A = this chain, B = another copy of it.
């Protein structure tokens, strides 16, 4: 691996001080911000995430805030998911599509009030798309990036850690719901959500100044729980089939190709910009789709830094976009997009990894 050159453009976060003190070894860049990727080692971080509890600096999940009379109208313009029955207190995973149905981001929408939303974004400047539309449509809405930096608490002991800091009320928060809870006199949105399958919370830290106080409070309260600084784990997220925008999907893909058809209410999401384009694909289905792929051969030495072609004989039928060796499932786990001719579970294919061709099998479900 090469080094990463520091610069102001790769923004630090309100938690960077804590991340550095915890001995971060590697980063990626996400929304022009540093996102840790390794603390002890990918494997140690993985094991610990599944057994204890970690605090993650995911400040790079920047927020796009919509405020004003047209906020809900604008929100529905962005996504084919029908938002009419969504209430304040809820979070929805919302594919965002352009007029061709191509995905521009796959964020979580947080409804704060009828006229106020946060969109907790994946890695693209969704702010620019939303601002462009709001201006072009002359909507009565303010759109900006507020000083809100999510901090995630993930792992099986998350409830215990969070209860120690925020009180037992956190235990009652349902999946993809949030409560507004007090920390040192500040109201923070605390949601049961996060980018792992191990359970946990995301705290929307409003105000950079309380970033490190909250970090320290969690670390202090979690000593007996073996709390450690962590980050989204490249093994665990592939096992769990958690997609990554920019890795597993781009604006070339429809939500249906990404297996996100269940979040598209193309019949009823009136106003959505991509609705017309998605009506046909919703009926006929996509011709290629994301699938879990089990890859044979030796444990992969690293991840997937480019598309690896999937072949059936001499025909290319898809590509792998994320992959890792899974200690728990004793196989190489991968996320691929594959043509319908070869996407049935059990289909045998080959994957052209950089270190050679590997046998692979299309699976019916992800591992977790």
Contact = CB atoms under 8 A, between A and B. Distances in A.
Interface stretch (A25-33, A148-156, A209-217): A25-33
Contacts of A306: 8, 12
A38 B258 CA distance: 37
Nearest to A38: B5
Interface in A104-151: 104, 123-137
Nearest to A123: B9
B132 A9 contact: no
Interface in A1-42: 1-10, 12, 24-29, 32, 37-38
A304 interface: yes
Contacts of A88: none
Nearest to A144: B251
Contacts of A133: 132, 135-136
A322 B8 contact: yes
Secondary structure call for the A interface: loop
A253 to B, nearest CB: 13
Contacts of A2: 3-4, 24-27
A13 to B, nearest CB: 11
A99 interface: yes
A207 interface: no
A25 B2 CA distance: 6
Contacts of A134: 136
Interface string A158-180: 00000000000000000000000
B25 A10 contact: no
A23 to B, nearest CB: 10
Contacts of A123: 9, 32
A28 B3 contact: no
A5 B24 CA distance: 12
B5 A3 contact: no
A134 B29 CA distance: 29
A346 interface: no
A27 B9 contact: no
A62 to B, nearest CB: 12
A305 interface: yes
A302 interface: yes
Contacts of A38: 3, 5
A247 interface: yes
Interface in A236-250: 244-248
A61 interface: no
A303 interface: yes
Contacts of A127: 128
A122 to B, nearest CB: 10
Contacts of A135: 98-99, 132-133, 136, 273
B12 A305 contact: yes
A332 interface: no
A63 interface: no
A247 to B, nearest CB: 5
Contacts of A248: 8
A280 B99 CA distance: 36
